[in-house]
Amino acid sequence: EAQYPTVEGELFKALAQCKLIASDTDCDYTRCGRTDRGVSGFGQVVALYVRSVGKFVSEEEASNVPDSDQHLVTRDEQNGGRAVLLPDSERELPYINMINKLLPPEIRILAWSPVKADFSARFSCTSRFYRYFFSGDGLDIGLMRQAAAKFLGTHDFRNFCRLDPAKQIKNFERTVLDIAINPVPSRVSLVGDSAGVEGRWWQLELRGTAFLWHQVRCMMAILFAVGQGIETPDIVDKLVDVQLTSGKPEYEMANDLPLVLADCAFDANDVQWIWVRNSGRDLGNMSVLDRSVSQMWGELNTRAVIASALLQNLRDVQVPVPGGSEAGEPRMAPWAECRQRLLEEERQTVTKSILGAGSVKHAKKYIPLMERKRAAPVELRNQAWFERKGTNKRARKTE
């Protein structure tokens, strides 16, 4: 974490600094899920024990709490299951303000909720919702939607993930509850682009109970290939059929930048989010959050405008092209004109695979996925790792 800071690491530092936890090892910490480096999260959820102004009460006092306030009675499993009476949100510590003051600007606590002692951010979660943003340039959205619909339901996704043999995962079945490809709403304004966002920027909206490592990015890579017309929608059927495709074909997954963990859902009886302390009277926290995100939005959009201006300058540069005068003077034309001609020539000789966020992979010849080299079946790779681990352990014993 010293070399590659993580959101989790920054959160623990802030929690310790404001004395909400003694250490990260004794707070019964759970997270809803991991996200790859480069992936954003709008709705990541963690659960842990933190300092409170609540107080220990006797069993008799706990039973005498009115029914309307029984949700404020909980058990401290770290102290023998003793009964604790929590204050209402207005008298509890201002957790959001305390932590956000100590976090980097790109990390923010949005809301909090008291939960029961047996709550787990991971196992109590009923579904996770992802969004993947992309430009529709060069893509057939209709074909992508046909392919996306094939992911709906329960399937074996071993060919849509990155395998970690150390985890010895044997069950690759996951359930996709909802999936759609929709335009980015017009209310999401983009600098210099706000008049026509719909139809130009799109988002994959994906909800499932749980996901494998890199599953969404692998799914998106296949959807891009279908959208470009270099694969057909039935490639999804072939890849989820593990009898037909027992080993994952080699392919590059989609870029991490456009992927967002947008929401983690829980039963309404388990979580009641508190965004502000005083039920509409104290909106200071929301104001601070809005200003912080607005500032980030402004900075990033300013960078986008600067990059756009630089790109326009390049496209306007006059360069020599064939077809000059008889005296031998070259004809001058804008680089944009030459670039367009070169792109047309490139399309005839090079296949471009879209990977999202402006990244592409070029190849002289596109090899269909079902004709590519495949990894060994999962069972063999798991077994090879297990045997290698045993060999190394025996070797250490004989040293």
Q: Which residues are catalytic?
A: 36
Phi, psi of 17 (to 5 degrees): -65, -35
Distance CA 160, CA 218 (A): 5
Whole-Å CA distances, 351 to 145, 364, 366, 367, 372: 22, 6, 6, 10, 16
Angle at the Cα of 113 from the Cα atoms of 108 and 90, rounded to 5 degrees:
95
φ, ψ of residue 350 to 5 degrees: the values are -130, 140
Distances, alpha carbon 77 to alpha carbons 65, 97, 148, 348, in Å? 20, 27, 44, 67
